[in-house]
Structure 1
Amino acid sequence: MRWDGLFADLEAQLAQGHWQDTEAEAAEMTRGERSAIALVDRLRGAVGTPLALQLADGQRLELSLSTVGSTWIGGTDRSGGLVVNLAAVAAVDSPLAVVAQEPSPGRRRLGIGSLYRQLSRARVALVVTGRDGRLLGEGTIDRVGLDHLDLAVHPRDEQRRGRSVRGLRVIPFDAVHLVRSAQASSV
């Protein structure tokens, strides 16, 4: 009997088994790491690139992604500036190959209310669309609460002036899926 050959064969089998175990552990670790990646981090990695979105109401958007918040994304399309509530996104038809986590804990916590407050300060005329794709209102944001905004309703092509305001509409954040700049919008 060739003992040397037997031992060499056993060593080769053990080495192969060890390598297979190592490969299985690496695959499991990769799956575990991927399970900790949030959609906003993948979207943040796509800032500056074209993005195709399918919204829950069936609308398809193609935009250039500019910024990513904790619950929203912002960018531009052919009609101008827009903000999309992530809850309204049914699918992303873009690869999202790069992951970029937000390093600032403060910025990670900035919700859509922060963005609405900024739009309010800038007195930007907006078109606000709801989850079902219907128009919720057009006008200028007057106030922003914890979970809602007050929209001074006026024609999109007019500045917010006392005589042009036709009413005030209180809109919960959860009801909004898309906010567009009114200047170029044709909702």
Structure 2
Amino acid sequence: MRWDALFHDLESQLQAATDARQESEIRERTRSEQSRVTLMQRLAGQAGRPVGVLTRGGRSLTGILTNVGSQWIALAVEERSVIVPLSSVQVLRSLGRSVGQPLSGIEAKLGLGSALRALSRDRAQVALWVASPVSRYAGVIDRVGADFLDLGLVAPGDERRAANIREVLTVPFASIDTLDSVARTE
């Protein structure tokens, strides 16, 4: 009987060592997989969910993540849409555990310029926030270059007409903190 107990004890020790080795391997594989997840994949997995963003300009926004581009995200915040360049993001809050697929095809090509060109084409009124010093400019995007935009400053509610333009600002993409849609006054 003593031999049976000894063999049973050895089998238990071997099983415990095997279980510990498997658990360690699983943890290591999980860490390895997580190390390959990009911020864009993490954000893509949050589409349609509430997300908090703190920008380098100090803006604290909470809204529904509506779009993810290769260099920007869009949030629905109250009654407006807000584009936040990834270069402006300092902290993200309330991200769930979901991870999306890497951006591919057209999505991977939708840089900040693409989003800004769409707003320019629509002649949408925007509020452009720059980070340093924190400033807000209201107007219509006149032109979008490779790494800058021209913003025609107009009074809120005014259409983009030559007579309504007070000044045109040229803003490098690197200076943009956020860009908000402006509700039209009817």
Tell me the TM-score normalised to structure 1 length: 0.88
In structure 2, distance between residues paired with 1:135 and 1:103: 32
Q: For 1:76, what is the secondary structure of its paired residue? A: strand
* Map of 1:98 onto structure 2: 98
Among the aligned pairs, what percent are the same residue?
35
What amino acid is aligned across from residue 74 of structure 1 in structure 2?
A
* Map of 1:47 onto structure 2: 47
* Map of 2:15 onto structure 1: 15
Please say which of residues 152-161 and 2-11 is displaced more in the overlay.
2-11
Tell me the TM-score normalised to structure 2 length: 0.89
Matched, 1:64 2:60: no
* Corresponding pairs, count: 185
In structure 1, distance between residues paired with 2:95 and 2:172: 32
Q: Is the 8 A contact 2:57 2:130 kept in 1?
A: no
Structure 2, gaps ≥5 residues long:
none
Q: Is the 8 A contact 2:41 2:103 kept in 1?
A: no
Structure 1, gaps ≥5 residues long:
none
**Structure 1 residues 103 and 111: CA distance shift in structure 2, 3 A:** closer
CA RMSD, 1 decimal:
2.1
Q: Is the 8 A contact 2:128 2:136 kept in 1?
A: yes
What amino acid is aligned across from residue 33 of structure 1 in structure 2?
E
Matched, 1:177 2:177: yes
In structure 2, distance between residues paired with 1:19 and 1:2: 26
What amino acid is aligned across from residue 69 of structure 2 in structure 1?
G
* Map of 1:113 onto structure 2: 113
How far is 1:91 from its partner?
Answer: 1.6
How far is 1:140 from its partner?
Answer: 1.2
In structure 2, distance between residues paired with 1:46 and 1:53: 13
In structure 1, distance between residues paired with 2:182 and 2:169: 17
Q: For 2:158, what is the secondary structure of its paired residue? A: coil
How far is 1:117 from its partner?
Answer: 0.7
Q: For 1:163, what is the secondary structure of its paired residue? A: helix
Q: Could you list the per-position Cα deviations for residues 54-110 of structure 1 after superposition, in whole angstroms to 9, with x for gaps in the alignment?
A: 222332111122111112111221241211112222222213221112453331232
Please say which of residues 47-56 and 14-23 is displaced more in the overlay.
47-56
What amino acid is aligned across from residue 163 of structure 1 in structure 2?
A
Q: Is the 8 A contact 2:131 2:176 kept in 1?
A: yes
Please say which of residues 131-140 and 11-20 is displaced more in the overlay.
131-140
In structure 2, distance between residues paired with 1:50 and 1:157: 29
In structure 2, distance between residues paired with 1:133 and 1:67: 28
